Each structure stands twice: as structure tokens, then as C-alpha cells.
């Protein structure tokens, strides 16, 4: 049985709500480490960065679900909504740490959002995430209709691009990580826009003749 089939059969047994549990537990655990000074000399910044990085990772993973299935056969489709909604709550935690613990007052929040371009673009990404989180349920799909819902959820691309630019803009000196994220998001966007169709199973190892097919 090829690797993706083995993983898929394991994934089928995992309920989607585990993503929410694991994501929520991680957010609480990181907060506990920061609150008990186990995150180095600047726990608030460290917490902001931890939440920001996981938020970005989940946004990019959400984008990669369809190509991953097409290219490798790895099927994370049933987790896509949970990944997206968890990404929203992790970014919300990121924003709240910044607003309540780092900046602290509404006045300063506004000044930072207006004055610092990396915060402005982060805010744009966060604001675009809100309607996606709110409509990540079957009721909204029925109310909006599939076509409108899919159009709205295309916002995932500007969200990912803004989040990567936010990261690129804030890092000091040269760091490879933001460029890796940028490369992945641009690749996914370019392939999607080009309507490029990978012959399915491109990276799926050929089933051995006579081996059980999926
Ligand atoms: C989708 C939305 C967002 C994503 C994915 C995101 C992601 C990130 C990432 C990856 C980092 C860098 C972590 C590192 O240095 O290792 C970061 C840092 C930061 N973000 Fe965001 N962010 C988002 C929205 C926001 C918003 C809305 C704000 C505030 C309005 C914000 C404020 C900050 C600040 C102040 C830092 C710097 C932390 C530091 O190094 O001290 N971010 N963010």
C-alpha cells in the first residue's frame, strides 16, 4: 500500500475536532510558558512571535491542502475547515497579545497600525480572515450559495500574501524563513492562477503491478 494511502487511512480515523483541541491546547500552553517566565527575557514578544508563526503556518497549510492531495495523494480535505478556523483563532491570539499586552492602549494601537507598515499589512490580513472564519460553516455555504462562498474564500491568497509581507517587513537583517513562506505562497498562487493541472498522482509512487489499488 503506497505511503499516501497508508497515511490517508490513518487520517480517516482522526476526528476533525482534534485540530481545534490541539490548537487550543498549544495556545494555552504557550501563554502559560510566557506567563510563568519560561520564554526568555521578553515573554510578550516571544509569545507574539510563537502565535504569529503558527498562524502563518496554518494559513499556508490551508492553502496547500488541495495541491497536496493532487500531487501526493495525501488527503487533508476533511481538516481544511478546522485548519482555517484554528488559524483565525491563533492569529486572533497573536493580535490580542499585541493589543493588550504589548501596545496596551487603543490610542497607541491606532498609531502603530497607521505608522508601522508591517503592522498595517498584518492588520489587513487579520481583517480579511474574519469573514472567512465567520462563514466557515454549512449554514453560510447554504445562505451564500456555493459560488459566492468559494469566491469569498479566495481571500485566502491575499491573506497569505499580506501575512508573508508582514513577516518579511518586520524581521531584522536577513532571515531565510520569511522567504521560504513567500516562495511557497507565490508557487501555490502561480499554479492556481495558471490553472496548471498536475497530472494527478504526479508525486504518487506508481502502485506496484498487482499491489492492492486504493
Ligand atoms: C494573518 C495575520 C497575521 C499573521 C499570519 C502574522 C504573523 C506574524 C509572524 C510570522 C511574525 C514573526 C514571528 C517571528 O519573528 O518569528 C509576526 C510578528 C509580529 N506581528 Fe504578526 N501576524 C499577523 C497579524 C498581525 C496583526 C493584526 C498585528 C497587529 C496589529 C501583528 C503584529 C505583529 C508584531 C508587533 C510582531 C513582532 C513581534 C516581535 O518580534 O516583537 N501581526 N506576525
Domain containing 24: what range?
A: 2-193
Total domains in the chain come to 1
Compute, in angstroms, the gap from residue 84 CA to the centroid of ligand 1.
17
47-102 pLDDT, tens digit each: 999 999 999 999 999 999 988 888 888 999 999 999 999 999 999 999 999 999 99
Q: What percent of the chain has pLDDT over 70?
A: 90
Measured CA angle at 54 (ends 53, 56), to 5 deg: 65
Task: Indicate whether 203 belongs to any domain.
Answer: no
Residue nearest to atom 25 of ligand 1 (CA): 122
Ligand 1 atom closest to the Cα of residue 129 is 1
Task: Indicate whether 145 belongs to any domain.
Answer: yes
Task: Indicate whether 84 belongs to any domain.
Answer: yes
Looking up cell 487579520, which residue turns up? 126
| Alpha helices per DSSP H over the chain | 3-12, 17-35, 43-72, 80-96, 106-115, 117-134, 138-144, 146-152, 156-170, 176-193
Give the residue among 59, 60, 35 at the shortest CA–CA distance from 46: 35
Task: Indicate whether 147 belongs to any domain.
Answer: yes
Task: Indicate whether 12 belongs to any domain.
Answer: yes
Q: Note the pLDDT of residue 67.
A: 87
Task: Indicate whether 212 belongs to any domain.
Answer: no
Task: Indicate whether 107 belongs to any domain.
Answer: yes
Task: Indicate whether 204 belongs to any domain.
Answer: no
Pocket test for ligand 1, best of 96, 116, 170, 177 (most atoms within 8 A of CB): 170
103-132 pLDDT, tens digit each: 999 999 999 999 999 999 999 999 999 999
Cα separations in angstroms, 133 against 129, 167, 207: 6, 22, 39
Confidence of residue 192 (pLDDT cuts 50, 70, 90): confident
Amino acid at each position: 500500500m503506497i505511503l499516501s494511502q497508508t497515511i490517508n487511512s490513518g487520517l480517516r480515523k482522526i476526528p476533525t475536532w482534534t485540530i481545534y483541541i490541539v490548537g487550543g491546547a498549544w495556545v494555552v500552553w504557550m501563554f502559560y510558558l510566557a506567563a510563568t517566565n519560561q520564554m526568555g527575557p521578553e515573554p510578550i514578544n516571544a509569545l507574539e512571535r510563537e502565535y504569529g508563526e503558527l498562524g502563518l503556518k496554518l494559513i499556508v497549510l490551508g492553502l496547500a491542502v488541495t495541491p497536496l492531495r493532487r500531487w501526493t495523494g495525501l488527503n487533508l480535505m476533511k481538516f481544511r475547515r478546522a485548519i482555517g478556523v484554528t488559524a483565525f483563532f491563533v492569529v486572533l491570539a497573536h493580535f490580542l497579545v499585541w493589543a493588550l499586552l504589548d501596545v496596551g492602549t487603543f490610542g497607541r494601537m491606532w498609531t502603530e497600525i497607521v505608522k508601522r507598515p508591517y503592522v498595517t499589512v498584518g492588520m489587513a490580513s487579520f481583517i480579511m480572515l474574519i469573514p472567512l472564519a465567520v462563514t466557515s460553516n454549512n449554514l453560510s455555504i447554504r445562505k451564500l450559495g456555493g459560488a459566492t462562498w468559494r469566491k469569498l474564500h479566495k481571500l485566502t491568497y491575499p491573506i497569505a500574501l499580506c501575512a508573508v509581507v508582514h513577516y518579511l517587513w518586520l524581521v531584522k537583517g536577513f532571515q531565510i524563513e520569511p522567504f521560504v513562506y513567500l516562495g511557497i505562497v507565490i508557487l501555490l498562487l502561480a499554479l492556481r492562477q495558471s490553472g496548471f493541472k498536475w497530472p494527478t498522482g504526479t508525486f504518487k509512487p506508481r502502485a506496484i503491478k498487482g499491489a492492492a489499488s486504493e
